[in-house]
Structure 1
Amino acid sequence: MSSEHLNRRDFLKIGALAGAAAAVSAVPVRAMAAPAVRTLEECMSMTPEAMADASGPVSASWRSILKAAAAIRNPAIRASVEQILNNPTPSVIKGMSGSNKKAIYKELSAKGLIEGVSEADFLPPAASADASPQPFRSAPGSGYQSHHAYPGGLCTHTGLNTRVSIALYDGYREVYDYMLDRDVVIAAQLLHDLHKPWVFQWDANGESRTERKLAGTGEHHTLGVAESIARRLPADVIVAQACAHNHPRTEKDEAQVVGWLTAASVIAGVDPVAYGLLAKGGKTLPMPRRQEGFVTHLGDHDWVLTVPACQWILPTMEKVAMRDYGISKSDLKAKPFNQFRNYVFSQATIMSLYETYAAKGEAELVRTIHSIVTPA
């Protein structure tokens, strides 16, 4: 199931029109419409799905993600990616009995790939291997004090990262005069956070589940790689996906990627060398190392600003919540504030709110918040 390639001559024959059409397929229509104004009481009863679906930026990002997936030329890869996006089920746990889970945990522990996490907690809760705990479009982009921490944050994060990855692909083609595997570039970035809907499930108090560590990084990463293995995606896509959290530039860096691929292979029940995920001996990636993994890693850097952006505007959000909406200090760690911030962040995005704050000041940030949720 290797990805289909086009050589340079064939690409040029396609012509500028086809190239433009392919580029447009991954670009969303910008959503500039003002969000629906809600009362705080209305926010309290909204589900994460309802908040995400009400958001212009989230909806536009979701459309761009689906368009990017549709631009994958290899039909088998395209079908797998679209299936995951539309229902990111934890199928990797299918058939995983208690004894099997125990054996997997024991092997991960023996290999030093899991520490500080109990056997009971090393996988997120899942009611079924055939249904996702939530849609892709309603999941946050990360933990509650981290990047894109709002319903639909996964969409805006993945949407931007995919655009960046495609831009890097185009840059290599235009500057260095060669083509990477575009299918791998797109698929790896679209799938790089595929299990955040499973890992970051929303609690009744409006906060997302706390993520555990697995193979030295957030569990969503290794579990996502394991899912791609379980769904039998091509090795080159999976290796590039695994590189999202680090690049194989040095031995130390590569050892991390090897660890994630090894742990994912244990969970999925495959031999990583036989699958083509690791070179003979299991110490490095397949040689020579492909550049698509570096593009995936570089593309996955939307978090660099969005983590501090979230942390920098939260004090203002808390102050406004208490002063203008009657939310008590004790409720800043409870549902009233969580639902308030979830709706504001989902409708405006953390990035847009931070840019308003940075460029126009706190007064304009407060005015923007008031335009989304009516003050008491």
Structure 2
Amino acid sequence: MTTESLNRRDFLKLGMAAGAVAAASALPRAACAAPANCSLGECLELTPEAMAEASGPVSASWRSIRLTAAEIRNPAIRTRVEAILDTPAPTLTKGMGSAEKKAIHKELTAKGLLKDVAEKDFLPPVADSAKAPQPFYAAPGSGYGSHHAYPGGLATHTGLNTRVSLSIYDGYREVYDYMLDRDVVIAAQLLHDLHKPWVFQWGGDGESRSEMKLAGTGEHHPLGVAESIVRGLPAEVIVAQACAHNHPRTEADEAQVVGWIQAAAIIAGVDPVKRGLLAEDGKTLPLPRRQEGFVTHLGDHDWVLTVPAAQWLVPVMKKVAVRDYKLSEGDLDKKPFKQFRNYVFSQATIMSLYETYAAKGEAELVRTVHSIVTPA
């Protein structure tokens, strides 16, 4: 087959085959692996883990994440990062009974770090503090109406962001001879969304849990910082991780980061100043400020492209689902459509599908979707 004759559908099939081979070593083998091309009925039976494990892009991203983690030279940091990737369990909840949870909720509320969140809704559900609700590689990258909302989305999101962060690191090193701490750059980016597997647990209807707010941002962020504290990551990694959602360029910006660290410290039960996470007055980051956190923030901008791509693509997918897969309008808010979109997105990624749609038109997008799920 020549390069010229290799069309999008053929390429996708080859990618799935290659992904299946890579998954043999990059991901655990699925108990019931998803087929490369399945029916809508088969999609309805697949678990999020099976979808992620069948995906070439997810497998490649997961492998990239693990290889990058292995590049961390400091063995203490590397060991802790790899342990979190292996088991992103909410160990911060260990020993946290109802009385402890109530006290944390009360303190966060009193300090203005938690608003309009009832005590019963504070913290995602957790059955066992030592077990993750799902593997890192099977989690979505964000809420269901946002970016990377498919099984394996967290892996592709983190994989892309880590590549971007290292490119920024390399650029500053080569142009300015500016030697940032590469271990911190890697660790902070790999861990910046570590509690999305806990926060965005998949429901039986194919949609992920809705996220609460904490300290003015999505709860996954301060909870992830708290987990890094509990897991014993160095202060410089935790501070850089906390900067993922904003950079401390202005007083107002820095106040946000300080708030996330304060919330995380309350949950983790530590003094953020004594732990080296804040300056002596508790009002700024440690001085002089390191700039690895700026790189973490800049690297975590995959969402700038992926949020609009998802928002523009989902309506087209709904039209295709009704026309070609005989779903009813009522099904579009229920499991049939959610499982359909989850599987298609996990196998091809939203970004690849949107690029096809934008560059080659709806007909080619539809042909690609048909190559993943057989039309009715």
**Alpha-carbon separation, structure 2, partners of 1:303 and 1:173:** 26
- Corresponding position: 1:257 with 2:257: yes
Structure 2 letter corresponding to 1:201: Q
Alpha-carbon distance in structure 2 between the residues aligned to 1:222 and 1:329: 38
- Give percent identity, aligned residues only: 76
> Cα offset for 1:315?
1.0
2:127 aligns to what? 127
Which residue does 2:15 correspond to in 1?
33
1:151–1:346 contact (8 Å) kept in structure 2: yes
Q: Distance in 1 between matches of 2:373 and 2:212?
A: 33
**Aligned counterparts of 1:276 and 1:66: Cα–Cα separation in 2:** 28
Which SS does the other structure have where 1:273 is aligned?
Answer: coil
Query: What TM-score do you get using the length of structure 1 for normalisation?
Result: 0.91
- 1:76 is paired with a residue whose SS is helix
Following superposition, the deviation at residue 31 of structure 1 comes to 10
* Residue 343 of structure 1: aligned partner: 343
TM-aligned CA deviation for residue 281 of structure 1: 1.4
Q: Distance in 2 between matches of 1:133 and 1:215?
A: 24
Q: How many angstroms does 1:34 deviate by?
A: 3.7
Alignment of 1:144-155 (within 5 A): 144-155=144-155
Letter in 2 for 1:187: A
Q: 1:72 matched to which residue of 2?
A: 72
Asked if 1 retains the 8 angstrom alpha-carbon contact of 2:227 and 2:268, the reply is: yes
Judge conservation of contact 1:140–1:200 (CA < 8 Å) in 2: yes
Aligned residue in 1 for 2:269: 269
Q: Normalising by structure 2, what TM-score?
A: 0.91
Question: Runs of 4 or more off by more than 2 Å in structure 1?
Answer: none
- Whole-angstrom CA distance in 2 between matches of 1:103 and 1:170: 45
- Bigger mean CA offset, 97-106 vs 49-58: 97-106
SS at match of 1:150: coil
**1:161-212, Cα deviation, whole Å (9 max, x unpaired):** 0000011111111010121100000000000000000000000000000000
Aligned partner letter, 1:86:
D
Matched position secondary structure for 1:374: coil
1:240/1:293 contact within 8 Å kept: yes
Deviations 1:262-311 (A, max 9, x none): 00000000000000000011110001111100000000000001011001
Alignment of 1:108-119 (within 5 A): 108-119=108-119
Deviation, structure 1 residue 32: 5.8
Residue-by-residue CA offset, 1:233-262 (whole Å, 9 max, x unaligned): 100000000000000000000000000000
1:189 aligns with 2:171: no
Partner residue, 1:60: 60
Letter in 2 for 1:161: N
Does the 8 Å CA contact 1:222/1:264 hold for their aligned counterparts?
yes
Contact 1:33–1:56 under 8 Å retained in 2? yes
> Aligned residue for 2:23?
none
Partner of 1:174: 174
CA distance in 1, matches of 2:92, 2:74: 23
User: 1:302, 1:328 → 2: CA distance?
Assistant: 33
The one-letter amino acid of 1:142's match is S
Contact 1:228/1:238, CA 8 A, preserved across alignment? yes
Whether the 8 Å contact between 1:143 and 1:211 is mirrored in structure 2 is yes
RMSD: 1.1
Q: Is the 8 A contact 2:16 2:55 kept in 1?
A: no
Structure 2 partner of 1:300:
300
Distance 1:32 1:281 in 2: 58
Q: What residue is the counterpart of 1:48 in the other structure?
A: 48
| Cα distance between partner residues in 2 of 1:33 and 1:300 | 26
Paired with 2:289 and 2:356, the residues of 1 have a C-alpha distance of 42
Report the counterpart of residue 162 of structure 1 in structure 2: 162
Aligned to 1:5: none
**Is the alpha carbon distance of 1:104 and 1:250 closer, same or farther for their aligned partners in structure 2, counting shifts above 3 Å?**
same
Q: Which runs of 5+ in 2 are unaligned?
A: 1-11, 18-35
Q: What residue ranges of structure 1 are gaps of 5+ in the alignment?
A: 1-29
Aligned 8 A contact 1:169 1:182 in 2? yes
Match of 1:91 in 2: 91
Q: 1:184 to 1:323 in 2, by over 3 A?
A: same
Q: Is the 8 A contact 2:141 2:152 kept in 1?
A: yes
